[in-house]
């Protein structure tokens, strides 16, 4: 896998995990 596609994959995973973590945080905050 090239360095470019490797970086793209890790960036995508980072963005997705950040988005879900923020979403979970909002859900938990609303639930509290």
Partner 1 sequence: MPFVSITFGIVVRSVRTHLERRAGIGFALLACALIAAWLAWQPGGETLATWIDDVATVVAALVATLLCVRTGAAQRSRIRTFWWLLAAATGAWTAAEIAWAVYDLALGDVPAVSWADAGYLAAIPLTAAALFVHPALRGGGSSRARALLDGLAVATALLFLSWTVVLGPLWERSDLSQLGDAVALAYPFGDGVLVFFVVLAVHRMTGAERLSLALLLGGLLAMAVGDSAYAYLTGVAEFDSGGPLDVTWIAAYLGIGLSAWCAAPCTGARPRAAPLARAAADPAAAPLAALVVPFVPMLAALVVLGAQVQLGHRPDRPGLAAALVLVVLVLTRQALLLRDLRARSSADDPHLEHAWS
Binding residues vs partner 1 (CB under 8 A)? 1, 3, 6-7, 9-11, 13-14, 16-18, 20-25, 27-28, 31
DSSP summary character for residue 18: H
Residue 26 CB, nearest approach to partner 1 (Å): 10
Helix (H) or strand (E) holding 1: none
Residue 24 CB, nearest approach to partner 1 (Å): 5
Q: Report the C-alpha gap between 30 and 28 in whole angstroms.
A: 5
Residue 2 CB, nearest approach to partner 1 (Å): 10
């Amino acid at each position: 896998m090239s360095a470019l596609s490797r970086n793209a994959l890790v960036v995508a995973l980072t963005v997705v995990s950040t988005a879900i973590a923020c979403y979970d945080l909002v859900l938990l905050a609303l639930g509290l």
